[in-house]
Structure 1
Amino acid sequence: MKQANKSILLVLILLSVSLLINAKVKPFTVVIDPGHGGKDPGATRAGVCESNINLDIALLVGSMLEKHHDIKVVYTRKTDKTLEPVERMETANKANGDIFVSIHVNSAYNEAKKRDVTTTHGVEVYIQTVENTDRKTRTLKQKSSITSIGENGIEVSKRYDENNSPTFNAIYEIKQAQIFNLSNNLATYIGNEMGEKERKIRGVKQQSLYVTWQTIVPSVLVEVGYITNPEERAFMTSKDGQRNLATGIYNGILKYKNDFDLSKESMKSITAVQNMQAYDTETVEEDSNSIVSKESTNKDEIVFMWQIMTSSTPLKDNDYRFKKLKCSFYKENNIYKYTYGSSTDYKEVQKLQADIKKLFSDAFIIAMKNGKRIDINEARKQQ
């Protein structure tokens, strides 16, 4: 374990997944994506094209954000031009942004009656589905890099073969889980703020959308209203209506940014894992009351780890409550206690606090020795 930790320390100083920033170096960057455009007008009713509404609202949101000296806005398009989905994603992922907001207009059609549903109205905000978390993790691995600092002090960005590095796998798994939760926060803020503008909010929803799982930052898709509803269509094409909708999105982004500013750790590199090894999901039962990781080769060694939850029954490795992290467990008094991350160095485990607490607010550090949990204070004294 010590040799592995030493190698990781030399290679990994910080994780750079494009969304991860140092706020002192760059401004808070918002990537705005007006849906459709050019040869793809999107939904069209009564001579009104979705692509034009999307662009008008996107430019309004951007113009309000650009008044802030610490905010940078990047657009996937600023004119009525055709973009392939991959072009939008390339713009978003190269922008080194902090969030991605795609703006669209909804429609409702009754297939059985072959006609529009003209009464459906309101705002919907979409994020990636829970089922797409594996896709998202693969996207992070494929499109992102890990920045390391060599012995000469020069930073080098490099992609690693995830099959050869369980530690880097753990980094990406944690970051994917963070992105999912941050996306949900952003969607909730935008929905709530648009609701403050007297729009009906149909909720935050999950859907398998290319623009949400192909990005490497917290991402949402906002459906600002229904073009098939005559009243809502008139509202979305009016200057007052567009200003109203844009202001709701703008306020939601500012609410999210406020959280960002209050807790820089939410988007910082996971330097805490630079000297940690991923905790293997495979376990071995030593007796009826103790299950420990196969990773522990020295039973007399004290190992620190995060306890994230308990259960009266065993949980599957892919249980949704693990939020896509690869966890292990030990059994105590017939209770299954699930853990994540392990190191013989308490300080290294402690460095994960900001990231772990965002996923599991009640998590805490425990100490294990000889397959048994021991008093944490006594364990620290023995270090």
Structure 2
Amino acid sequence: MKIVLDAGHGGHDPGAVANGLKEKDLTLCIVRHIGRLLREYEGVEVYYTRTDDRFLELSERAEIANKLKADYFISVHINAGGGTGFESYIYNGNVSNATVAYQNVIHAEIMKAIGNVRDRGKKRANYAVLRQTNMPALLTENLFIDNASDAAKLKSEQFLLQIAHGHAQGIVKAFGLKKKATTQPKDDGKLYRVQVGVFSDRKNAERLAEELKKKGYPAVIV
């Protein structure tokens, strides 16, 4: 299946700006994480409307998804206006039952992933990227950039990963995706010694030994 990820704003349009943050930067970071997570699943083709800091008209974003004949379109944004919390949108015109069902699932998974955040609800709006796309589509507003508490969360890379995880898990659950199988190396029962280097400075040797021990490997300095 084809999924198009749309990072809101870009280029000369920074989107909402406050507390040292720009919406266009946050949205791009989040969609990159979503795409990376989704590529771990079978049969998923991930496409982006933008992968760098460039401006695209709203109609161009929808056109990219339509030309690809995507199965799903999701546009990621950061809110502003003095509120707090998370909300999601589908088109306020005629939409399929699937569009509603996908919103229900993805919204719930995002709320689960981001934890103690106000749920502003599942909404509908006449947004161009929702109106002009030919496939089920969702737009998310991930906290408020002009709210000091929300902005503090948005400055955390870990929190942006949580947002992305919620989006990805929502899509996985909505579409019943299966994770790609990972092949484990066969253990032949033998033990092998690997010498990783010789150091003239004992401190460098000790530093490497500590790193190896942290990763669960036995390391002895001789």
Interval containing the TM-score (normalised by the shorter chain): 0.7 to 0.9
Per-residue deviation, 1:78: 0.5
Structure 1 vs Structure 2 CA RMSD: 1.4
CA distance, structure 1, for counterparts of residue 43 and residue 2 of structure 2 = 9
Map of 2:119 onto structure 1 = 201
Map of 1:223 onto structure 2 = 141
Per-residue deviation, 1:200: 2.5
Per-residue deviation, 1:124: 0.4
The answer as to 2:154 corresponding to 1:191 is: no
Map of 1:34 onto structure 2 = 7
Per-residue deviation, 1:68: 1.7
Map of 1:17 onto structure 2 = none
Deviations 1:115-162 (A, max 9, x none): xx3xx2111000011xx33xxxxxxxxxxxxxxxxxxxxxxxxxxxxx
CA distance, structure 2, for counterparts of residue 102 and residue 31 of structure 1 = 8
Q: Secondary structure at the match of 2:45?
A: strand
Q: How does 1:265-344 map to 2 (within 5 A)?
A: none
Map of 1:128 onto structure 2 = 91
Give the alignment partner of residue 49 of structure 1, picking from 12, 22, 47.
Answer: 22
The answer as to 2:37 corresponding to 1:58 is: no
CA distance, structure 2, for counterparts of residue 237 and residue 221 of structure 1 = 21
Residue type of the alignment partner of 1:210: A
Residue type of the alignment partner of 2:168: Y
Deviates more, 1:210-219 or 1:232-241: 232-241
Map of 1:71 onto structure 2 = 44
Residue type of the alignment partner of 1:246: A
Unaligned 5+ segments in structure 2 are: 179-222
The answer as to 2:131 corresponding to 1:213 is: yes
CA distance, structure 2, for counterparts of residue 47 and residue 245 of structure 1 = 19
CA distance, structure 1, for counterparts of residue 165 and residue 24 of structure 2 = 19
CA distance, structure 2, for counterparts of residue 52 and residue 234 of structure 1 = 15
Question: Is 2:102–2:174's contact at 8 Å kept on the other side of the alignment?
Answer: yes
Per-residue deviation, 1:69: 3.1
Map of 2:76 onto structure 1 = 103
Which structure dedicates a bigger proportion of its chain to strand? 1
Question: Is 1:42–1:49's contact at 8 Å kept on the other side of the alignment?
Answer: yes
Give structure 1 regions of 4+ aligned residues with deviation exceeding 4 angstroms. Answer: none
Residue type of the alignment partner of 2:87: E
**Percent sequence identity over aligned pairs:** 34
Residue type of the alignment partner of 2:8: G
Q: Secondary structure at the match of 1:97?
A: coil
Question: Is 2:75–2:139's contact at 8 Å kept on the other side of the alignment?
Answer: yes
Q: Secondary structure at the match of 1:38?
A: coil
Per-residue deviation, 1:203: 1.1
The answer as to 2:103 corresponding to 1:182 is: no
Deviations 1:234-271 (A, max 9, x none): 2122111101110111111111111x89xxxxxxxxxx
**Greater Rg, structure 1 or structure 2?**
1
Q: Secondary structure at the match of 1:101?
A: strand
CA distance, structure 2, for counterparts of residue 217 and residue 237 of structure 1 = 33
CA distance, structure 2, for counterparts of residue 48 and residue 230 of structure 1 = 11
Residue type of the alignment partner of 1:51: K
CA distance, structure 2, for counterparts of residue 191 and residue 68 of structure 1 = 20
Question: Is 2:2–2:70's contact at 8 Å kept on the other side of the alignment?
Answer: yes
Residue type of the alignment partner of 2:148: P
Q: Secondary structure at the match of 2:101?
A: helix
Q: How many residues align?
A: 176
Relative contact order (alpha carbons < 8 A, sep ≥ 6): 1 or 2 greater?
2
Question: Is 1:65–1:250's contact at 8 Å kept on the other side of the alignment?
Answer: yes
Map of 1:234 onto structure 2 = 152
Residue type of the alignment partner of 2:63: E
Residue type of the alignment partner of 1:123: F
The answer as to 2:172 corresponding to 1:254 is: yes
Q: Secondary structure at the match of 2:3?
A: strand
CA distance, structure 2, for counterparts of residue 208 and residue 72 of structure 1 = 27
CA distance, structure 2, for counterparts of residue 237 and residue 59 of structure 1 = 16
